[in-house]
Every structure is written in structure tokens, then in C-alpha cells.
């Protein structure tokens, strides 16, 4: 148990198969919080009784499960008996947030205190939405024009002329009939005009999407870190490497091992000595 209470955040966590599982994120009253995974990180709570050994000189812990068994051990929740206990390293606004045993070790110079301050930057993100920016109207109106059509028609014309003759009247001819009238009908063709609608043209309207690039800009904020010191202190202001960009950016300090940030499943774990 003396070795267990010396466990510090940032220590490597290994399984019984000597495979690296993750790193210690915090230390509770009777458990350690193990951060596992880099891209999709998760936190597991390993009770003290499940810790096989701890090596303060090498800064690593061995838990009682293999790397493949770790996720099935039921350590994804804080143990019930310590669910209301504040983590030994919870942020309290002071540097005295240790357990009694650990505080003694720190006072004796047996362990280093590590705190991290997040630095934020804003990045631009563009979203597209469709909005009506105009419209094209095609209207039809009715106008009247005068149309002329030539149509040939027939009609009767009557010509009356007198022809002089000199012959005796025949027996079938009735001479001297008073009031005799001869009627000759006169005919002519008349025109009736009708109108028939006809399709003489079609208007085709085509809408084609056009892809173009628009440049947008805005102001973004980012935090800058200034380190002030007073008195007899020694500040190790080594710069940190930034990996990735935007929301995928990850800070990896030069004095922290990469395994403390997440799981190194793609790297071959160094065998334990």
C-alpha cells in the first residue's frame, strides 16, 4: 500500500501481459483514474485492490488484467463506496489537494506536482444554406391584331336585254296575259369567319446550378500564455510541440511522455524490467 499511495498522475499503466494500457489521470481515495485511448479517449476507475504493483522509481503501475481484458473488468464507473469521495487531485484552487500520505511524500520531496492549463484558440467554420436571391418571371399577355384573309366567292349577276324578233305567236304561247311576272333567283356565296387557336411557339426555361468559390473572413480569438516569476524560482519554459490543426490540435509537452496523453496501441510497448 505504501507504493500505491505514491502513484501520481501521468504514470504509465501496464497490464499483466506487459502491454501498455494508458496513463494515470488522477488518484482517488481508493482508486486510480486511468485514461485510455488517444483518438477516442475513455476513463476507467481501477480500485487499489486491483493494482498488482507500483514502481515509483520507474513511474508505472501494473493492474490485475491484461490489455485485452481491461475494458471488460467493469471499471468504467467510480467504485460505489467512493462515489461521493472527492478525487485526491481534484481542482480546488490550491496546491494542497493531495491525500494525507501523498502530501507527506510531496513535502519530503518524494514526488513532483504537475498541473496543466488549457490554452484555447478559435477557428472559422463555414456552413452553407440555400436562400432565394432573385427570380425570373415569364408572363403572357393577350394583344389584338387586325388579320386580313382573301377568300374567293361566287355570286350571280343578272343581265336583262331586249332581243328584236318578228314571227307569229304559236299556240302554246299565251299572249296578252296581264300581270304576268317572271322571277329569276340570284345567288351569291357568303363568308362566315371563325377563329381556331394554334400553338406557334414554346418557351423553354432551364435552371442550371453553378459551382463557385466565395472567400469569407472573420476575426478569431486565441489565448496567449505569459509566465511571470518572482522570488527564487526556476521555471523550465520549454516550448511544446503542436500536432494537428484546429479542433484536432493536441499539445504534447517536451517533458511529458506521449503515453501520458493517451493509449499508444499502434506502438510496441516497451517490455517491463
Read off the pLDDT of residues 157-180 as tens digits, 9 standing for 90 and up: 999 999 998 888 887 777 777 777
Q: How far apart are the first and last CA of the chain?
A: 21
Show the DSSP H helices in 87-220 as ranges: 100-107
Question: Which residue has better confidence, 163 or 6?
Answer: 163
Q: What are the grid coordinates assigned to 87, written together?
A: 478525487
CATH assignment of the domain containing 19: 2.30.30.240
Range of the domain at 102: 4-113+235-260
- In contact, 258 and 264? CB cutoff 8 Å: yes
* Weakest-pLDDT range from 61-65, 95-99, 265-269: 95-99
- In contact, 210 and 225? CB cutoff 8 Å: no
Mean pLDDT of 66-79: 88
Question: Which residue has better confidence, 159 or 37?
Answer: 159
Q: Is residue 147 part of a domain?
A: no
Q: How confident is the model at residue 88 (pLDDT cuts 50, 70, 90)?
A: very low
- In contact, 18 and 271? CB cutoff 8 Å: yes
Question: Which residue has better confidence, 259 or 4?
Answer: 4
Residue 71 has pLDDT above 60, yes or no: yes
pLDDT the model gives residue 56: 87
pLDDT the model gives residue 187: 93
Tally of structural domains, the chain:
1
- In contact, 43 and 31? CB cutoff 8 Å: no
Q: Is residue 85 part of a domain?
A: yes
Helix (H, G, I), strand (E, B) or coil at 149: coil
Question: Which residue has better confidence, 227 or 249?
Answer: 227
Q: Is residue 31 part of a domain?
A: yes
Q: Is residue 73 part of a domain?
A: yes
Rounded Cα–Cα distance for residues 270 and 19 (Å): 8
pLDDT the model gives residue 113: 64
Rounded Cα–Cα distance for residues 262 and 239 (Å): 20
Q: Is residue 52 part of a domain?
A: yes
Q: Is residue 192 part of a domain?
A: no
The percentage of residues in the chain with a pLDDT greater than 70, rounded to a whole number, is 72
Rounded Cα–Cα distance for residues 30 and 45 (Å): 10
Q: Is residue 188 part of a domain?
A: no
pLDDT the model gives residue 154: 93
Q: Is residue 70 part of a domain?
A: yes
Rounded to 5°, the CA angle 251-254-255 comes to: 115
Helix (H, G, I), strand (E, B) or coil at 260: helix
Amino acid at each position: 500500500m505504501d507504493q500505491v499511495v505514491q502513484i501520481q498522475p501521468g504514470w504509465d499503466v501496464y497490464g499483466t501481459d506487459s502491454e501498455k494500457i494508458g496513463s494515470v489521470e488522477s488518484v482517488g481515495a481508493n482508486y486510480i483514474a486511468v485514461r485510455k485511448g488517444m483518438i477516442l479517449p475513455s476513463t476507467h476507475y481501477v480500485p487499489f485492490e486491483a493494482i498488482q504493483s507500483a514502481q515509483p522509481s520507474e513511474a508505472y503501475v501494473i493492474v490485475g488484467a491484461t490489455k485485452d481484458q481491461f475494458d471488460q473488468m467493469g471499471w468504467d464507473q467510480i467504485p460505489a463506496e467512493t462515489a461521493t469521495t472527492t478525487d485526491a487531485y481534484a481542482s480546488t484552487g490550491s496546491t494542497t489537494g493531495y491525500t494525507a500520505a501523498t502530501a507527506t511524500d510531496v513535502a519530503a520531496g518524494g514526488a513532483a506536482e504537475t498541473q496543466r492549463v488549457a490554452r484555447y484558440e478559435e477557428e472559422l467554420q463555414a456552413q452553407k444554406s440555400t436562400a432565394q436571391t432573385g427570380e425570373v418571371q415569364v408572363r403572357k399577355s393577350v394583344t389584338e391584331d387586325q388579320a386580313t384573309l382573301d377568300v374567293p366567292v361566287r355570286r350571280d349577276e343578272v343581265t336583262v336585254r331586249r332581243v328584236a324578233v318578228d314571227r307569229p305567236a304559236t299556240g302554246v304561247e299565251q299572249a296578252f296575259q296581264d300581270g304576268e311576272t317572271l322571277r329569276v333567283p340570284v345567288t351569291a356565296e357568303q363568308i362566315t369567319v371563325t377563329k381556331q387557336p394554334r400553338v406557334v411557339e414554346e418557351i423553354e426555361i432551364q435552371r442550371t446550378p453553378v459551382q463557385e468559390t466565395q472567400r469569407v473572413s472573420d476575426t478569431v480569438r486565441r489565448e496567449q500564455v505569459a509566465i511571470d516569476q518572482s522570488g527564487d524560482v526556476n521555471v523550465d519554459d520549454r516550448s511544446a510541440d503542436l500536432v494537428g490543426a484546429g479542433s484536432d490540435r493536441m499539445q504534447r509537452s517536451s517533458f511529458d511522455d506521449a503515453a501520458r496523453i493517451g493509449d499508444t496501441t499502434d506502438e510496441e510497448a516497451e517490455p517491463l524490467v
